[in-house]
Structure 1
Amino acid sequence: MPEYTILTVLAIALVLLLELRVLRTGLLRSGAYWIAMTIVMGFQILVDGWLTKLSDPIVLYDDAMTTGIRAPWDIPIEDFGFGFAMVTLTMMLWRRARPAADPRDADAEDPEAAG
């Protein structure tokens, strides 16, 4: 298996393992997470497609380092794996770092509940 592909699979596995065994943020069960990932991937297709298009590439990949599978617009599929791992890790760490909500502040967070 090519190096870039191996690193992509490793990055995905480590992020998922970190979530399932250590952080346990529940992020992967969140609908908002999957909506955010859809938005991120949509923009990734636009930008990455422009950067990697084979007709006039800005970013070059050594074909020996990837699977050679490109879709859509000549994007190496490994880029999607790294994008997933990077964004997911950032969101997990962000969620983990935020202070725990104080139940006494519930009214302050919800203006409708305050009255």
Structure 2
Amino acid sequence: MIGIGYTLPAILAVVVVVVWELRWLHTGLFRRPAYWISMVIVLGFQIPVDGWLTKLSAPIVVYNEEHTSGIRFPWDIPVEDFLFGFALVTAVLLLWERQRMRGAKITGERVADE
């Protein structure tokens, strides 16, 4: 059973951010290789740090398992952490891109797809 305390909000965060881009913002962020490369870089740092913080052998951060899905991968990282990470980083990049597009519209500059 899905833990409502942490899992459901993590899933909803991803859905909200993806819908926000696809329905309202239309920045094209998901079509850019630079976005996906940046997400790989984020994961490259998130996995060792989060793995160290949540390792079951000596956790620094302890989760109430009743509030999570119980799925941990790799190194005991709750999968919900990856969902929240995706949603947070993507939301920031979408806001940044939206601001860039607005600034270009105000100054009359052409916005180049990167």
TM-score by length of 2: 0.87
User: Is 2:104 the partner of 1:102?
Assistant: no
- In the alignment, what sits opposite 1:33? 35
- In the alignment, what sits opposite 2:76? 74
Structure 1 residue 42, shift from structure 2 partner: 1.1
Letter in 2 for 1:97: Q
User: Is 2:8 the partner of 1:2?
Assistant: no
Deviation >4 Å, runs of 4+ = none
Percentage identity across paired residues of the two chains: 59
How far apart in 1 are the matches of 2:12 and 2:61? 22
Of the candidates 93, 96, 101, which is equivalent to residue 95 of structure 2?
A: 93
Structure 2, unmatched stretches of 5+, are none
How far apart in 1 are the matches of 2:84 and 2:20? 15
Letter in 2 for 1:6: L
Structure 1 residue 30, shift from structure 2 partner: 0.4
Larger Rg: 1
- In the alignment, what sits opposite 1:59? 61
- In the alignment, what sits opposite 1:109? none
- In the alignment, what sits opposite 1:84? 86
Q: How many pairs were matched up?
A: 104
How far apart in 2 are the matches of 1:28 and 1:17? 12
Counterpart of 1:46 in 2: which secondary structure? helix
TM-score by length of 1: 0.87
Question: Alignment RMSD, CA only?
Answer: 1.3
Structure 1, unmatched stretches of 5+, are 107-115
How far apart in 2 are the matches of 1:16 and 1:73? 27
Letter in 2 for 1:49: G
Of the candidates 14, 19, 22, which is equivalent to residue 21 of structure 2?
A: 19
Structure 1 residue 102, shift from structure 2 partner: 1.3
How far apart in 2 are the matches of 1:88 and 1:80? 12
